Amino acid sequence: MDLKLHVWRQPSRDAEGKLVTYEAHGISPDASFLEMLDVVNEGLIAKGETPIHFEHDCREGICGSCGIMINGTAHGPAKGTATCQLHMRHFNDGDEITVEPWRARAFPVIKDLTVDRSPLDKIIQAGGFISVNTGSAPEANMIAVPKPIAERSMDAAACIECGACVAQCPNGAAQLFTAAKVSHLGLLPQGQPERYDRVLSMVEVMETYFGSCTMFKECEAVCPKQISVDFIARMNGDYIVASCTNRKPAANE
């Protein structure tokens, strides 16, 4: 396959960025999108030019490092797929592809396609810990968790913190990410002691960095793990309960 790429190049956080056009020749349809970028970078290095900077790690759709906008869609055209799992057979020979970093106020560009996603980590940190005795391992069946609840918790825990939901949302909201992180603990017995303090703290940090959710559902559409917006409704319910029952006094009270 021969392709024409329009790639966002930005040398630093404070520098001006622009789209630069590159030709990608002889790309295998079985190559992943990142492997295609590897081929382009090899050509740039051979010519003494600076390679395209992009994040990656596991390249198996687990770590969440590799997110980029492909033709205006987070992670590209395939549903339930991270960028590293997207294969070039989803494109046609001769296609022009626009490749950009996540576009969200909370994710400033570091260089080229790499962005600072540390606000997501701050939401996780705000969740604190769970009160569980970590002594000798209990027998697996001692804590009875109904199968539907365990499966629902696992659905939420599938989030890989890639940030596609934020990048695709017209408001730059992080409700789907936060709801997944709140819910995977809040559904289980082990997460109950701090359940309501956790949702208050995490939502407070989320609202510091990200926009407000108006339920466009674009986050769900591009999530590589297909996490449902139903978790947002669940988080909102917990937040309302927490706000009414565990309200922290204001500084002047």
Q: CA-CA distances (angstroms) from residue 85 to 89, 99, 168?
A: 11, 16, 18
Measured over the CA atoms of residue 65, residue 225, residue 4 and residue 16, the dihedral's sign is: negative
Task: Encode 213-233: b = buried (16+ Cβ within 10 Å), e = exposed.
Answer: beeeebbbebbbbebbbebbe
pTM summary value: 0.88
Domains and CATH numbers, the chain: 3-111 (3.10.20.30), 118-245 (1.10.1060.10)
Which among 217, 207, 219, 116 has a CA at the least distance from the CA of 168? 219
Rg (the chain; Cα; Å): 21
At residue 212, the 3 state secondary structure works out as: coil
- Across residues 7-33, what is the average pLDDT? 97
Q: What is the pLDDT of residues 214-240, one digit of tens each?
A: 999 999 999 999 999 999 999 999 999
Tell me the per-residue pLDDT of 25-42, one tens digit each, with 9 for 90 and over.
999 999 999 999 999 999
User: What's the pLDDT score for residue 246?
Assistant: 61
Averaged pLDDT score across all residues of the chain = 93
Return the DSSP state at 19: E
Confidence (pLDDT) at 29: 97
Q: Is it the case that residue 242 has pLDDT exceeding 50? A: yes
Residue type, 248: K
Give the model confidence (pLDDT) of 66-112 as tens digits. Answer: 999 999 999 999 999 999 999 999 999 999 999 999 999 999 999 99
- Look at residue 138 in the predicted model and tell me its pLDDT: 65
In the structure, what pLDDT confidence band is assigned to residue 51 with cuts at 50, 70 and 90?
A: very high
pLDDT of 145 reads 87
Name the nearest CA neighbour of 72 among 176, 170, 200.
170
Question: Which residues contact residue 213 at a Cβ distance below 8 angstroms, ignoring those fewer than 6 apart?
Answer: 169, 171, 173, 175, 232
pLDDT, mean of residues 133-160: 84
Q: Which segments of the chain are extended strands (E)?
A: 3-9, 18-24, 69-70, 73-74, 96-100, 109-111, 114-115
DSSP conformational letter for 8 = E
Interval 182-219: pLDDT, tens: 999 999 988 999 999 999 999 999 999 999 999 999 99
DSSP secondary structure string for all residues of 91-141: S-TT-EEEEE----TTS-EEETTEE--HHHHHHHHHT-------SSPPPTT
Select from 38, 63, 43, 64 the least CA-distant residue to 53. 38
Average pLDDT over residues 143-148: 87
